[in-house]
Chains A and B, each alone.
Chain A
Amino acid sequence: MKTLKFLIEKEFKQILRSKMVMGLILLFPVMTMWIFPWAIDYEVKDIRVNVVDQSQGTYSQRLIQKIDASKYFRINATLPDYTTAYRGIETADCDIILQIPPAFDRDLIKTRSSSVMLSANAVDGTRGMLANNYLMQVVNDFSSELRAGQVAALALFPQASLPVIHIQSRYKFNERLEYKYYMIPAFMVILLTLICGILPAINIVGEKEQGTIQQINVTPVQKFSFILAKLIPYWIIGIIVETIAIICTWSIYGMVPQGNILLVYLVSFVYIVSISGLGIVVSNYSETTQQASFLIMFFILIIYLLSGMFTPVSSMPYWAQIIAYCNPLTYFVQVLRLLYLNGSRFADIAQSTGIILIFGIILNLWAVISYKKRT
Chain B
Amino acid sequence: MNVIEVSELTKKFGSFTAVDHISFDVKEGEIFGFLGANGAGKTTAIQMLCGISNPTSGKGTVAGYDIFKENEQIKHNIGYMSQKFSLYEDLKVWENIRLFAGIYGMNDKEIKENTRRLLKQLDFESERDTMVASLPLGWKQKLAFSIAIFHTPKIVFLDEPTGGVDPAARRQFWEMILDAAYKGITVFVTTHYMDEAEYCDRVSIMVDGRIDALDTPHNLKQQSQAQNMDEVFRKLARKAKRIN
Chain A residues engaging chain B, CB cutoff 8 angstroms: 2-3, 5-7, 9-10, 13-14, 17-18, 210-212, 214-221, 373-375
Contacts and interface: CB of A to CB of B under 8 A. Distances in A.
Contacts of B76: 220
B78 interface: yes
B52 A374 contact: yes
A3 B105 contact: yes
B52 A13 contact: no
B102 A215 contact: no
21 contacts: A2-B105, A7-B102, A10-B91, A13-B90, A14-B88, A210-B89, A211-B82, A211-B84, A212-B87, A212-B88, A215-B80, A215-B87, A216-B103, A217-B52, A218-B75, A219-B75, A219-B104, A220-B75, A221-B103, A374-B51, A374-B54
Interface stretch (B32-40, B92-100, B135-143, B213-221): B92-100
B82 A215 contact: yes
Contacts of B91: 10, 13-14
A214 B88 contact: no
Contacts of B179: none
A6 B82 contact: no
Interface residues of B, number: 30
B84 A7 contact: no
Nearest to B157: A218
Contacts of A221: 103
B78 A218 contact: yes
Which 3 pairs between the two chains have the least Cβ-Cβ distance?
A6-B102, A211-B84, A215-B86
Given A6-B102, A215-B100, A375-B47, 20 more contacts: A5-B102, A13-B91, A14-B88, A210-B86, A210-B89, A211-B84, A211-B85, A212-B87, A214-B82, A214-B86, A215-B82, A215-B87, A218-B50, A218-B75, A218-B157, A219-B100, A219-B103, A220-B76, A374-B52, A375-B54
Interface of B: 47, 50-54, 71-72, 75-76, 78, 80, 82, 84-91, 95, 98-100, 102-105, 157
Contact of B103 (A3, A211, A373): A3
The A interface is mostly helix, strand or loop, or mixed, namely: helix
Nearest to A375: B53
- With a 10 A CB-CB cut-off, give which of B85, B88, B95 has the most chain A CB atoms: B88
Contacts of A13: 90-91, 95
Contact of A218 (B51, B89, B99): B51
B205 to A, nearest CB: 25
- With a 10 A CB-CB cut-off, give which of A13, A220, A375 has the most chain B CB atoms: A220
A17 B105 contact: no
A220 B101 CA distance: 12
A214 B95 CA distance: 18
